[in-house]
Amino acid sequence: MSVVFAVDSSALPDSEVQPGLTLYDDVLAWAGIKIVPVWFLYLGPGGGAATPATPASVQFLHGRGTSVGLLYNSSTLNGVAQGTYGLGQQDAAEAAQQATSLGAPPGTYVWNDVEYKSLDRLTGDYIAGWCDGIRPTSLAGAGGLYANLLDARFQAAMTAALARSPANVGRLLLWLASWTVKPPGVIAVVAPGWLAAGGPSGLPADIRSQCHGWQFCGRAYGDENDGPVDLNLLSLPLPPPGDLWIPPAGTSSQTVRQQLDQVAADLETNLTRLRQLLGQV
């Protein structure tokens, strides 16, 4: 298992923060790294301020050797009284259509954003509907869910979903949204803790075993109240049958293995810097 640094952003990575400087390159400079191994984009039209992914933004990331993660941001839970099995299936079908329209190859995982107010309407029936709905599409497995997995509402819904559709819900990839750290030093502080503990602490064993991602720092870059970039850790490789949207062969001179080696070196450098700073306090 390798733990890599990942970004999700409401602004596109190829957008310019100033003339001649893309968001991607600005994040690299800010974080002091040479490559972002994984960058999550929102499927459109989405909600809030998120800018929908475009083929050009995917091509831009692949050209940098960065794998793409896809996040479905149009959940019906944003506007209904209660999630039902049928609504879960409806969202799965729409996510599959949006991913396919973007050009995602078969076997690409898509995560469903059910954070914040969506948790008030999240039910086991909805989760089961999402998982059962994703399964027969070209997308991989049962997809994923992005939410605060520590919330009792999510845990209750997940327990009910496992009881209704254990085979498919048991394939679900979970991504924890829990902002526990603020910059500076976020990568150096959090990554060793994840590696030592095998994942974020405080999760029930059944949920923790399906947790492969952790958004540990929100709005880490840019405006502290509305910054476009959140920081994540992702455990790779993801379990079969699917994967991230990986750059095609020949797009970049860097292989995935080289990316992981580079990130490991960057993490060690940041950790050394942090130790030096702590020694000066």
Banded pLDDT at 80 (limits 50, 70, 90): confident
16-18 vs 2-9, strand pairing mode: unpaired
- Mean pLDDT of all residues in 179-185: 57
Higher-confidence residue of 127 and 263: namely 127
Q: What is the Cα–Cα distance from 172 to 134, expressed in whole angstroms?
A: 10
- Mean pLDDT of all residues in 160-169: 96
87-100: pLDDT as tens digits:
999 999 999 999 99
Instruction: Spell 82-103 as b/e; 16+ CB within 10 A means b.
Output: ebbbebbbbbbebbbebbeebe
- pLDDT above 60: residue 255: no
- Mean pLDDT of all residues in 224-245: 83
Assess contact for 215 and 175: CB atoms under 8 A: yes
| Spans of all domains in the chain | 2-280
**What was the pLDDT predicted at 184?**
47
Helices 124-134/85-102 angle, 10° precision: 40
Task: Kindly list the distances between the CA atom of residue 105 and the CA atoms of 88, 95, 120, 172, in Å, as whole numbers in the listed order.
Answer: 22, 13, 33, 19
- pLDDT above 90: residue 268: no
pTM (2 d.p.): 0.84
Bridge partners (DSSP) listed for residue 215? 177, 232
- pLDDT above 60: residue 281: no
Q: What is the Cα–Cα distance from 235 to 92, expressed in whole angstroms?
A: 24
> What CATH architecture does domain 2-280 belong to?
Alpha-Beta Barrel (3.20)
